[in-house]
Amino acid sequence: MTRILSILVALCLIALPASALTIFNNFGPDHDGWDYNWGTGWTIAGDDVAAQYGVEQALGFTASSSGILSDIWVAMWYVPIDGGADEVTMYLVEGSLDHPPAPGDVMTQWTITDFESWTGWSPPHHLAGDPSVELVAGQSYWLWAVGSATTWCGWCMNSDPSSLAPHTIKREGEDWLPVSNETAGAFRVDITPAVTIEATSWTDVKQLFR
C-alpha cells in the first residue's frame, strides 16, 4: 500500500473532467442567447440546384482555451421554394486561417438533415461533441459546410454585422476564393477543459476516485 501511495503522490497532478467552456460564440443575447440574423445567410447548395453551382462555405475561428470538443451549434435554414431534399455535412478542420480548409485536415464531421424555413427564427442545430477531438488554445480551425446534390440552405449570419470571421467560399469545379474577414455565420463552440488536482495524501487519492 505504501508503495502504491508513493507512486500516486509522486505523480501529484491528476486530470479530471470539468464543465463545458465556450471558446467561440457569435450568437446575440436575444432568444436566450441564441439570436442570429434569420433573414440572411451564406448559401449552401448542391450540384443539382439550378444557378447555385454547388456552393460550399467555410468559416474560421481560433480556440481561446484547450480541451475536448463538447458541443457546436450552428444556425441554418432551408429555402422553401426549392423541393429538393436538404442535407448538409459539417466538417471541423484544423489549419491556418490564411489558407482554406483541406480534406486531409478534417478532425470530425456531422450530417444535418432537419431544417426549418427561412421565414423566422428557429433554434440552432446542435452538433454533439467528439471525445477523440482535442482543441488547443491559440490553434485555428475551420467549420466547413457542404450540401448534398439537391440541398439549398443558408448558414444564417450573426445578428451583429460588425462581428467578423475568416470566411471563404467554393463553387463546383472551382478553387476556394481568397480568405477574407466577413460577417460570420452564427455558431458557437464549447469544450470540456481538464482540471488538475494535486494529491498529497492517500486520503486525497481515495477522494478523487470515489
- Read off the pLDDT of each residue in 102-129 and give the average, rounded to a whole number: 96
Is residue 19's pLDDT more than 90? Answer: no
Q: Would you state the cell numbers that stand for residue 71, as one nine-digit string? A: 458541443
Indicate if 33 and 4 belong to the same structural domain.
no
Indicate if 47 and 106 belong to the same structural domain.
yes
Is residue 199's pLDDT more than 60? Answer: no
pLDDT of residue 203: 55
Is residue 44's pLDDT more than 50? Answer: yes
Indicate if 185 and 198 belong to the same structural domain.
no
Distances (CA, A) of 154 to 44, 54, 171, 208: 6, 13, 15, 47
pLDDT of residue 81: 80
What percent of the chain lies above the pLDDT cut of 90?
73
Indicate if 2 and 56 belong to the same structural domain.
no
Indicate if 4 and 39 belong to the same structural domain.
no
CATH number at residue 186: 2.60.120
| pLDDT digit string, tens, across residues 143-182 | 999 999 999 999 999 999 888 999 999 998 799 999 999 9
Q: How many domains does the chain have?
A: 2
Distances (CA, A) of 7 to 3, 10, 32, 203, 208: 6, 5, 48, 14, 15
- Of residues 172 and 207, more confidence is placed in 172
Q: Residue 3 sits in which domain range?
A: 1-17+194-210
With the C-alpha atoms ordered 70, 65, 22, 177, is the resulting torsion angle positive or negative? negative
Indicate if 10 and 88 belong to the same structural domain.
no
Indicate if 67 and 129 belong to the same structural domain.
yes
Say if CB 74 and CB 125 are below 8 A apart.
yes
Is residue 110's pLDDT more than 50? Answer: yes
Indicate if 188 and 200 belong to the same structural domain.
no
Indicate if 50 and 154 belong to the same structural domain.
yes
pLDDT of residue 85: 86
Is residue 139's pLDDT more than 70? Answer: yes
pTM of the model: 0.84
Indicate if 105 and 9 belong to the same structural domain.
no
pLDDT of residue 17: 52
- Average confidence score pLDDT of the chain: 87
| pLDDT digit string, tens, across residues 117-127 | 999 999 999 99
Say if CB 48 and CB 84 are below 8 A apart.
yes
Indicate if 113 and 208 belong to the same structural domain.
no
Indicate if 60 and 6 belong to the same structural domain.
no
